[in-house]
Chains A and B, each alone.
Chain A
């Protein structure tokens, strides 16, 4: 039971990171391999604000997310906008390149030694039934859950949400409706970067802050996204939860070092049985 609950807690974080990936892919058709590194930079920014400038936790948190949004917009505006209509391979190479460049620059600025990162709430675990949980973990789950809910409501019921869904289905037709598609795509990048940033800040206390911290999480988020179908937003969340629980089960019953290997085995098995992912449908034809 404890293992499943702990797995779910991380699952929420993976789900959030996967949501960011899927949002960007679904809206702009680009697979963002730099997602994890963007989140890493956001986490470092929050660390600078928190530890070096001595800001209170939530002020630093909010400012770091603001930074993440801007960072996402800049990446879109400077790099992605130009390759928006290029072949997918070019787009992939570009985001992979950004992954490496961002990682390298972060290493130059912040060095390579790991640092400890504080939790939002300190405190010993308390017991609910047979499960131990900390206040910080409750906060993590609560926050990611609220973010997912807010995100869902925006996507489903607001004007900008409708514009996002329309632009993702047919850019040209969306333009003819008077939608500024480039603005919509820019917001998708901003939101995607914020979701990733939250995932980074939430996991940093558990794994030490360093420039490679997001690699594992990115892979887990990709696993969650792929399992969920990669174009389904609820699928990303469900996929993230599955990966979180599964990873914890593998660590406990088999071996922690093998969790990556087993995660890939899970992806392979699921895609073998259901090639479109659990909640993915056939991808509609996109006209240019």
Chain B
């Protein structure tokens, strides 16, 4: 349903992506793994059109996306939940959720979206009128995912949702990612926590220095010697 082919991308002179090709099959969870600086976040930014690749093909539902604006990417149902959460600190929890539905015009859908967010994260409902900047790190992550859900995603891009979060909550968040996927939402999951990511995903790519070094069924990668050594701690 979404496909990058041979994508090259630069930051000034830094060649961040050197021919990345990945594909998301409808309804799957795909993990994107790799060390710091491998190009994972950059790949997501290419997909959400925050940055324009120098070369390569980007297709979504059979159409090229390389002339689409970030706003239209959102309209088409590709929602990017960025690294470091980036909730709007001075807006209330409720306003953060509302702004997540900025491209959704139908009031009923916004209301349903709100209920869905509260269904997954009841804590957010209790904190509805609190400023997002005063939430704990874990709560901010919940809000960031809730906000992304408000945009009615067909494809959800999650950048390190477990970063800096206590183990118990990590487990919960991974469970929620699976539930979201069971609703039919395709997920691209960027993770440092390779073990967890490989547990819940169907397929995985490993990036090294801006290139896909390895790919395969998640189950197969879990048993791969190289992956075990480098990313699963032996």
List A residues at the B interface (Cβ < 8 Å). 159, 162-163, 165-166, 169-170, 172-180, 284, 287
Contacts and interface: CB of A to CB of B under 8 A. Distances in A.
A176 B88 CA distance: 12
Contacts of B90: 165, 169, 284
Interface string B25-41: 00000000000000000
A162 B50 CA distance: 21
A165 B71 contact: no
Q: Which 9 A-B pairs have the closest CB atoms?
A: A178-B74, A178-B103, A173-B86, A178-B71, A169-B88, A177-B102, A166-B99, A166-B88, A175-B70
The interface centre, meaning the residue of A162, A169, A175, A178 with most chain B CB atoms within 10 A of its CB, is: A178
Interface size class of B (residues with CB under 8 A): 20 to 34
Contacts of B84: 287
B50 A178 contact: no
A173 B79 CA distance: 11
Contacts of B99: 162-163, 166, 174, 177, 179
A284 B74 CA distance: 27
Interface in B2-22: none
Contacts, number: 66
A23 to B, nearest CB: 15
A169 B86 CA distance: 10
A163 B102 contact: yes
Given A162-B95, A178-B75, A284 B89 contact: yes
A166 B95 CA distance: 9
Nearest to B71: A178
Given A176-B50, A177-B74, A284 B133 contact: yes
Given A162-B95, A165-B90, A179-B71, 13 more contacts: A162-B91, A163-B102, A166-B99, A169-B89, A172-B50, A174-B99, A175-B70, A176-B48, A177-B74, A177-B99, A178-B73, A284-B90, A284-B133
B152 to A, nearest CB: 11
A158 to B, nearest CB: 11
B137 interface: no
B70 A178 contact: yes
Contacts of A172: 50, 82, 86
Contacts of A162: 91, 95, 98-99, 102
Nearest to A286: B89
